[in-house]
Structure 1
Amino acid sequence: MNNKEQNDNIQQTAHQSSDDSAIEPRDNPDRPGRQFYIPSQIVSEFAHKGRDHLKKPFPGQLVLALTAGAFMTFGAAFSILLAIGIEAKGLYYLLSGFGFAAGYAMVFISGSVLFTEVNVLLPTYLFHSTGFMQRNILKFWGSAYIGNILGALFVAIIIKLSGSLSTSFYSELSVYIDHKMKFLDKGFTGWIQIVLSGILANWLIGMAAFLTTAARDITGKILGTLLPVVLFVAGNFQHSAANMGYFSMGILSNSEYQWYEFLFLNLLPASIGNIIGGGILVSLLFSYAYKDDIQSAVDNY
């Protein structure tokens, strides 16, 4: 047996052991098996996914980034459609969150490459690998970001050309965009506030990825996605990938804002905050907390 076959067997055995530990009762034979991954297994899965995304050929990376951006616009559109005409704020936020969660569920379950999810998966892999500085990291990050924007804009164009949505939809869209661009009048202070809001947003989306990875069935994955998404939507926390969905439609609907205001005065500071929220407050903290539990598995990558 050659070295490659031995390594494959080691990884398969480790993964099977991980799965078995997640479902087999310990000590007490009457205790039911768990139907979710424990935190150390989740962090290990993050590292595996980050590695797999990084090693995927560039055309595949770009296609998955485009689909993720497309799903963001679908989620943004659904969040508006569900909330049109709702006066009660609590119900309004709940339905908006439900709508946007559909986009994130499609991203998580399809394995699409979303910039803000990459901010969690890729750092987790890098924190536990010896080859930290790799030339293709920035290329991958950049392709995810640009691909998300292009995918979001592509769906927005089709929606606009289709004429499927009513004028009430675009009126509600303007309200959403005004809410997200309210920081504009505060100058540099508002820019910093968007960074801080972006930290909160991707902290929550990082936990959505955490809960979704923990679940071992479709229902659990959808519920794991739903809860943090409803919270970040209700809090108006600035999530760059979500805003790409709203802004791509706003550019095509006679919005009072210009494309460069969307890009430099919202998406840029939000993206900086998203990197901090996902890379440090989720990836780094959990990687450190469970480093002893997962290091042996990562050594076999």
Structure 2
Amino acid sequence: MSENEHNNNEATVEEEQENKNAGTTIESRTNPDRPGRQFYIPSQIVSEFAQKGKDHLSKPFRSQFILALTAGSFMTFGALFSILLAIEVEVKGLYHLLSGFGFAAGYAMVFISGSVLFTEVNVLLPTYVFNAMEKQKNILKFWFSAYIGNIIGALFVAVLIQLSSSLSNSFYTELSMYLDKKMKFLDHGWIGWFQIVVSGILANWLIGMAAFLTTAARDLTGKILGTTLPVVLFVAGNFQHSAANMGYFSMGILSSDKYEWYEFLLLNLIPASIGNIIGGAIFVSLIFSYAYKDDIQTALNKKE
């Protein structure tokens, strides 16, 4: 081996060691969009949100609506699993943990499949609008179609579950208890309506952070873990998340006459949805877009 080759090899080893100590690899230098670390940094995450929002808007309407249907379906599966895991569990901490873990399965399917969930859209579209600095048509149409598609998808799975007759009486007893928790605000009158709005803000703030952590992860295990932690928290806190409630309510409408459909819609889903929009758009999209504005604009300029 010549002296020059020996020196080059030593330089390469030293360079790789320096990159490793800095938390990066050669890959991150040659391809900035694939960092050597095992997660994306916050400014990259916000940029990914904006890109996902743009990608959703660019899809044909039929694709948007189909993906909204699948997301709603996954919400009912998540609601189903959250109840099944917690049946007859007496220890409150374990009860909340298992319920949240069960519902996280639905969210994992949504995030990883690229389905269109109304409450995730509350984060992605505002992020795109805040950073793209350009007018986009059909944003409200897409938002509305995501909402309606989620409801239809949730009801579709609930009908299939009911027709299957697969579930025991203990499941429906537990479901009734879940519905009572979701509808407890009825006892507070109009104050309860505004309490649901505030609870919805907290719920979508957490779901926005679930999307944040899931986007940050670069492997499947990290994405599932990132999804699970905030979901467990919002389920345990009984925060009103409209997409999640669609799953519970769709099964409740078909199995019980304790609450009317208009009570679910007008006295829970609508105020929860208003809070969800505020929580996702302001407490996740706007805050992080503003905090990392310079980094995001630098990245956008490089792409141009």
Taking structure 1 as the reference length, the TM-score comes to: 0.89
Which of 285, 290, 299 is equivalent to 2:287? 285
2:197 alignment counterpart: 195
**How far 1:18 sits from its partner (Å)?**
2.7
Tell me which residue corresponds to 1:251. Answer: 253
Task: Give the superposed CA RMSD.
Answer: 1.4
* Cα distance in 2 between the residues matched to 1:104 and 1:234: 16
What is the distance in 1 between the residues matched to 2:146 and 2:220? 25
Q: Choose which of 28, 36, 58 in structure 1 pairs with 2:39.
A: 36
Q: Deviations over 1:116-148 (max 9, x none)?
A: 00000010000012323x330010000000000
Once the two structures are superposed, what CA deviation does each residue of 1:134-165 show, in whole Å capped at 9, x if it has no partner? 33001000000000000000000000000011
Misfit runs of 4+, over 2 Å:
13-16, 296-301
Count matched residues. 276
Paired with 1:297 and 1:121, the residues of 2 have a C-alpha distance of 18
Which residue of the partner structure matches residue 271 of structure 1? 273
Cα–Cα, structure 1 residues 121 and 175, in superposed 2: closer, same or farther, change >3 Å?
same
Which residue is 1:3 aligned to? none
Q: Which residue of 1 aligns with 2:33?
A: 18
For the residue of structure 1 that corresponds to 2:148, the secondary structure is helix
Q: How does 1:174-185 map to 2 (within 5 A)?
A: 174-185=176-187
Specify which of 92, 99, 103 is matched with residue 102 of structure 2: 99
CA distance in 2, matches of 1:114, 1:135: 20
Q: Retained in 2: the 8 A contact 1:66–1:150?
A: yes
**Alpha-carbon deviation of 1:185?**
1.5
- For the 8 Å contact 1:116–1:241, the answer to whether it is kept is yes
Q: Deviations over 1:226-266 (max 9, x none)?
A: 00000000000000000000000000002300000000100
Pairwise CA distance, 1:295: 1.1
1:117 counterpart (96, 116, 120): 120
Q: Is the 8 A contact 1:174 1:255 kept in 2?
A: no
Q: How far off is 1:297 after superposition?
A: 3.1
How far is 1:14 from its partner? Answer: 11
Q: Structure 1 residues 111, 136: CA separation in 2 closer, same or farther (over 3 Å shift)?
A: same
1:248 and 1:58 map into 2 onto residues whose CA distance is 25
Q: So what's the TM-score if we normalise by structure 2? A: 0.89
Task: Give identity over the alignment, percent.
Answer: 78
Q: Which amino acid aligns with 2:115?
A: S
State the match for 2:169 in structure 1. 167
Q: Which residue of 2 aligns with 1:61?
A: 64
1:71 correspondence with 2:86: no
Letter in 2 for 1:61: Q
Q: Could you list the runs of 5+ residues in structure 2 that have no partner in the other structure?
A: 1-27
Q: In structure 2, the residue corresponding to 1:87 is in which secondary structure?
A: coil
1:63 and 1:73 map into 2 onto residues whose CA distance is 16
1:294–1:86 distance in 2 versus 1, CA, 3 Å: same
Alignment counterpart, residue 260 of structure 1, candidates 259, 262, 270: 262
> Distance between the aligned counterparts of 1:155 and 1:141, measured in 2?
22
CA distance in 1, matches of 2:257, 2:101: 25
The gaps in structure 1 that reach 5 residues or longer are 1-12, 24-33
The amino acid of 1:224's aligned partner reads G
CA deviation map 1:67-105 (0-9, x unaligned): 000000000000000000100000000000000000000
